[in-house]
Amino acid sequence: MRSTRRRVTIVVALLATSLIAASSAEAVASAQQGAANDPTAIEGEFLGPSEPVRTLERSGATTPTGTVQPRINPLAGGPNSGKRGTWNRESVPPDPLASGSQSAGSRTPAPGLVFDGTANPFACSGCSPPDTVGDVGPNHYVQAVNATKIAIYDKSGNLLTPAFDLGTLFSTSPCTSNAGDPNVTYDPIADRWVLSQFAVPTHLCFAVSQTANPLGSYYLYQFDVGAFPDYFKVGAWPSGYYVSSNEASYTAYVFDRVNMLAGNAATAQKFLGESNFMLPADVDGSNPPGLNEGGLFYTFKDSAFHGGANDRIELFRLNPDFGTPANSTFGLVDSFPIAPFTYTVCGFFNFNCIPQSGTAQTVDTVSEWPMQRFPYREFSDHQALVGNFTVGGGSATPGAAIRWFELRNTGSGWTLFQEGTHDPGGGLNRFMGSIAIDSGGDIALGYSASSATSFPSIRYATRTPGDPPGTLGAEQVMQAGGGSQTGSNRWGDYSAMSVDPVTECDFWYTNEYYSASSATSWKTAIGTFLDPSCLPDTTIDSGPTGVIRDNTPTFTFSSDKAGSTFECRIDSDPFAGCSGPGDSDTTAALPDGPHTFAVRASDAASNLDPSPATRAFTVDTKVEGSASAKGKQKQKGKKIVVKAKVKAGEDLEAKASGKVKLGKKSYKLKPAAKSVSSGKQKNLKLKPKKSKDAKKIAKALKQGKKAKAKLTVKLTDEAGNKKTTKLSVKLKR
């Protein structure tokens, strides 16, 4: 179909000094502080709605072969192409955090569902790298690879429609060209999908889904940004879609999200001049920041390469004003000194770096720049941002490891909460990372792992909030490699870790691998895993145990997840909403006997505690037992003994007391007591308290007088139930 065109506007703001042209660390440091707030408008186009994805014809292999659009060295025109002493270093110090990178007591969960995504040669005939990326929504997983194939799956891994070229949604050039560098962004705030790629010569192309269903139609946008937007990345934020790219300098954009979601003409703003590539923050979870909060970006800096006093993480904010673009601002929020690191594994823009098994071909780590994503999540008591980048100084050869970090804001500004360098050893280089944080505060880091004796594999590691700061658990293999890439040094250029917006606990990860060695016949895998600590944990705080007399007991309980609701059950009944006020439950009247009360929490995302809390108890409202005595009992000689028999249906304590009536006189009997086990019977023997009374009773019986014993037998069970039996016994010789 032909698309309707509308004009849109992009605003560009230039830093006072070009950092790429800066020849000294001092120039770099001074230039990054000031931005000229004098934007220039650039025209673009809104192209109208697309044809629904579900009706598109199946795509064939995209024609590009060999390496796709090369990753551009922004310092290529500077002295020594920007190497600045990073190539051919004689030695690299061990990363200071690597030795303590693993938590001995932490276990990374095993993968759940793992399935293959799009692969070559279908993807792009034989291009490399794949630029593997994807995101998960309420009902779908959407993956993109070069150049540019989109595949839409259900959450069971079933492909719902044939994979298609993103360019087929567009009817006009340059966005029809499928040039690559795809991005897939699920916007949890609006429940929409954003698919994007760049286009030659200087364009960014966006497709914004009209509904939550990625199989439907998209609003199409084409922006001429005035420079080739290499390696651009996208983050969803309430106040805009924020984008970074590698141009003549490192660049930050904001696009008018509100109008792009509505299918209206949209504007954008652009800021140039940072000294390292930035990543935009990308919202995860159901608690986004405020609509008027500007978007965040981060980068990392090496003091030797970029200037400054410390190795550091820098956090920026872009505050847009789409009504008056001149009011928009972009600047440094804060700088966080971090442990020293080795900048780049094999040298700035040295693509020949990581060895693979069975080939002399080495591959790129993209260790110059932050690796996507930069996820933002809001918790009840803090905000969190997590990121990662590849560093040198690991234990393998040449020593690629992954520095990761968490920033937190508890209300008084952002601080560095923790950092670590993931290098669990085994002779493997780890690179091409992607990181995310779930609603329980668990962090997952996925990556590629390779060495001269190991094919590249897809691996990941996780941590829980209770693990020692800066550590990850032992890694898991999501997809073992079966071969190496023999025809290109381009690997990655990125991978993607995301969190299911429904459960807010399930991690989804996609990356590339080879099932057999070949030039560029790469494959991709998509996998899921769940850290159980993200799920609610239920505790029974009060309620009976053991044997109880109350047949309508009350239990109270709690969860470690705020805002949880609860489901309860007795014995084998189905779980149902608990009946009591607050976090409590009072059972219906229960029959005597053993019972089990169970309760499970359901958190705000409806995740259920997989291991409900239980409490076993026994209801006992009556004594199971009896007391009896023979109506006539013979007495011998001068001894008087009156017997009562107790039969126990449960463990009982039996006590008997009484007296003997002889004419008008009464003689007290000495009480008798015994424990009687369930299923047993015992006799209680009562004798007169005084020996002289026994003689008197015996003498009277010998004289033929009548005597009668009146007994009281009390039975008490473990629950405290009592049963009293009155007995009458005639005594005779």
Contact status, residue 392 vs residue 367, Cβ threshold 8 Å: yes
pLDDT digits (tens, 9 = 90+) for 221-239: 999 999 999 999 999 999 9
Mean pLDDT of 536-562: 94
Structure tokens at 39: 């934007």
CA dist 173 → 42, 207, 210, 294 (Å) = 18, 14, 22, 32
Distance CA(600)–CA(568), nearest Å, equals: 7
pTM of the model: 0.83
Average pLDDT score over the chain: 91
Amino acid at 426: G
Distance CA(233)–CA(144), nearest Å, equals: 13
CA dist 127 → 122, 183, 431, 496 (Å) = 10, 17, 21, 20
| Topology of the domain comprising 625-732 | Immunoglobulin-like (2.60.40)
Structure tokens at 197: 């790629």
What percentage of residues in the chain have a pLDDT greater than 70? Answer: 93
- Residue 146: strand pairing partners: none
pLDDT of 528 > 50? The answer is: yes
For CATH 2.60.40.2550, the residue range(s) in the chain are 625-732
What is the reported pLDDT for 118? Answer: 98
Q: What residues have CB less than 8 Å from 63, skipping those under 6 apart?
A: 124, 125
Convert 667-715 into a string of H (helix), E (strand) and C (coil).
EEEEEEEEEECCCCEEEEEEEECCHHHHHHHHHHHHCCCCEEEEEEEEE
What is the reported pLDDT for 141? Answer: 98
pLDDT digits (tens, 9 = 90+) for 439-470: 999 999 999 999 999 999 999 999 999 999 99
For CATH 2.130.10.10, the residue range(s) in the chain are 6-52+94-534
Least trusted range by pLDDT, from 63-72, 323-332, 345-354, 535-544: 63-72
Q: Which position has the higher pLDDT, 606 or 499?
A: 499
Mean pLDDT of 572-597: 93
CATH superfamily for 6-52+94-534 is: YVTN repeat-like/Quinoprotein amine dehydrogenase (2.130.10.10)
Q: Please report which confidence band the pLDDT of residue 67 belongs to, taking 50, 70 and 90 as the band edges.
A: low
Q: Which CATH architecture has domain 538-619?
A: Sandwich (2.60)
pLDDT digits (tens, 9 = 90+) for 289-341: 999 999 999 999 999 999 999 999 999 999 999 989 889 999 999 999 999 99
pLDDT digits (tens, 9 = 90+) for 182-218: 999 999 999 999 999 999 999 999 999 999 999 999 9
